[in-house]
Amino acid sequence: MLILDEFLLYNATEEEQQLLLKVMERRVERTTTIVCPQYDTEGWIERFGESAVSIHSGGSQTPIYSRLLQNI
């Protein structure tokens, strides 16, 4: 079990977002992850920033926050 307490208390850098995305994608549907944010999910976008993108194998780009929300 992984507990992310005080999630996004501070803005996440692009490197931190990429790392978090890798961790979450490895855990999805396999094990428990508890996220305890201080903000509604609408506030997450502001904390992540819309500039950080994840590049898919097909070359398309998606904001990291969008991919993280899909895994939570």
Per-residue confidence in pLDDT tens, the chain, 72 aa: 999 898 888 888 888 888 888 888 888 888 888 888 887 877 777 777 766 666 565 667 777 777 777 777
The parent domain of residue 23 ranges over 2-71
Of 57, 50, 41, 56, give the one whose Cα is nearest residue 17.
Answer: 50
Type of residue numbered 32? T
In the chain, the N- to C-terminal Cα span, in Å, equals 14
Indicate the number of domains in the chain: 1
This model's pTM is above 0.85: no
